[in-house]
Amino acid sequence: MTARSTSVTARALGPGQEWWRRAVVYQVYPRSFADSDGDGVGDLRGIIGRLDYIAALGVDVVWLSPIYRSPQADNGYDISDYHDVDPTFGTLADLDELIAGLHARGMRLVMDLVVNHTSDEHPWFAESRASKDSPRRDWYWWRPPRPGCRGGEPGAEPTNWHGFFSGSTWEWDEASGEYYLHLFDRKQPDLNWENPAVRRAVYDMMRWWVDRGVDGFRMDVINLISKAVRPDGSLPDGAPLPGPSRYGDGSPHYTNGPRLDEFLHEMHDAVLAGGARDGAVLLSVGETPGVTLDQARSITDPARRELDMVFQFEHMGVDHGPGGKWQLRPLHLPDLKANLARWQEGLAGAGWNSLYWNNHDQPRVVSRWGDDSPEHRVASAKTLGTVLHLQQGTPYVYQGEELGMTNVSWSQIEDYQDVETLNYYRESVAGGASDGEVMAGIGPVSRDNARTPMQWDDSPQAGFTTGTPWLSVNPAYPQINAAAAVADPDSVFHHYRRLIELRHRLDVVVDGRFELLLPEHEQVFAYTRRAAQTLLVVANMSSEPVAVDLPGQAGVLAGELLLTTHPDGAPADGDRVRLAPWESRVYLA
């Protein structure tokens, strides 16, 4: 094993216990980023070849989605070996070179940590499954059928919980005569964190990666690791779901469970507190679906020694309709503003949030909440970036977001590969929905929107591969690509670069108190950040021009115009601002 690198010199951050407060993270989805060998799948050597591009954006951290050995049932979030790289992506030597390349450029590497579950092909699970007497039987959640029921029959499952990807969370294992729990795909059995041996094995694995040079972890669905176990070892049913479904909502019994704080504190002291390098602590980011504001504040309060920040999802659901994510409604901007402001105010002074619009599980924001027409795509992508990046928290840029990449528009299910999308389609059609109806719901929200290959240039396959890509390239690549964006000083790429520079340079962006202005306005998103200086962000989040008064802000509006999407925009008149469609401005006084 290669010794860990000690040459990290964070260009804008310096050492310190909370260096990440001023940092910006860039997420790489390896399968779709850059293919070095022409097999149609992105790989580590492809990422290595693009490090100068990432560095030019000015980010401080690269978060790498899973590259561990995996059967790829859920694109790597089903891990069969935590200590090796999947051959699809390369080798451990390639990863060592990537870490060294990042460190040499003053950036850090955060690995995806997936420890709520493993693959069913992991040796731990194979041993657990082999026999009820296996020493590792209790490393997973095994339970017999319901009393009086025959295993494998509908309704015999130990609980009525409905899975994240569809169907029951329990899979019948004929050989051993019991069910195992999987909150996600059946090939992703949940680890039993109640077992101390499981936790020790996870911490040992984490230390192994830290010793290899990794600078932190983004922890997949980490707030699901504690289940609400009854004294007799059973798990409770969930409240019945609406309609004729036989399933129930089990989430109250596995989300933010009773021992979550204990487990996270134990992990912190076992791994994270001892991982400092060059005076900078490891970064810990918890993906926490269903977390409340109070819980997030508790988890990220530095005094509690758990995690540095959370990914929470409330703002990602403000446009969900009665059918959830598959039935979007038009965005009502006051709802989004109210939600973001609540988290800004609620975490101030103790907790810390991740700021994001996009990731590998979300559709492209410029298509979802912006305007991806040729007329407004660039301005709306810039403005969406502006209103997000200048809030308090650590911003995350998902690959291609800095280009204003858009959703795809596919008309047939055969074009999709995402397991969640495919399961939803099958379940909906089997339930009587028409193909057209289901496809209309899938198009705007499928996770494959985020997973189309990175658009590097206007050559065949967008410069992603010389072969056939594993997922079709977005046909917009001749116009939307990295080569064109880097060459254009007025591009989305350079706007994001300037936003990142502001966070590095201005203390008010890091520590300033947030105050929402015009909360009920349906077109304008405006807020201030106040510390020794005052920062004012005012943005037209619509495709129509607008004029607004910002009472009390005339002094700030007379200050320095730091950044704007429209350099030729009309100057402020006292506290009145006229904005073109998707125009945003940042003032400092």
Is 120 noted as a catalytic residue in this protein? Answer: no
> Hey, what are 361's tokens?
């599980």
Q: Report how far apart the first and last C-alpha atoms of the chain are (Å, whole number).
A: 52
> CB atoms < 10 A from the CB of 491, how many?
21
Contact 288, 309 (CB under 8 A): no
- Output the six-digit token pair for 209: 């990666």
CA distance 89 to 50: 15
What does the alpha-carbon distance between residue 44 and residue 39 come to, in Å, rounded to a whole number? 13
* DSSP conformation letters of 398-416: ETTGGGT-------SGGG-
Cβ contacts of 226 within 8 Å, gap of 6 or more: 193, 254, 256, 257, 258, 259, 260, 262, 263
How many C-beta atoms surround the C-beta of residue 68 within 10 A? Answer: 23
52 forms beta bridges with none
* CA 447 to chain CA centroid, nearest Å: 11
DSSP 114: -
Residue type for 245, please? Answer: S
How many whole angstroms separate alpha carbon 293 and alpha carbon 345?
10
In angstroms, rounded to a whole number, what is the distance separating the alpha carbons of residues 284 and 354? Answer: 11
Task: Tokens for 307, please give them.
Answer: 């995690």
Catalytic one among 190, 287, 308, 583?
287
Q: How far is the C-alpha of 280 from the C-alpha of 338, rounded, in Å?
A: 34
* Residue of 35, 78, 220, 418 with catalytic role: 220
- Write a three-state SS string for 457-515: CCCHHHHCCCCCCCCCCCCCCCCCCHHHHHHCCCCHHHHHHHHHHHHHHCHHHHHCEEE
220 part of the active site: yes
Lookup: tokens for 588: 């400092």
Residue in the structure block whose two tokens are 């293919």? 35
Residue 432 bridge partners (DSSP): none
3 state SS of 32: helix
* Amino acid at position 500, single letter: I
Residue with tokens 């779709």: 32
Write out the catalytic residue numbers: 220, 287
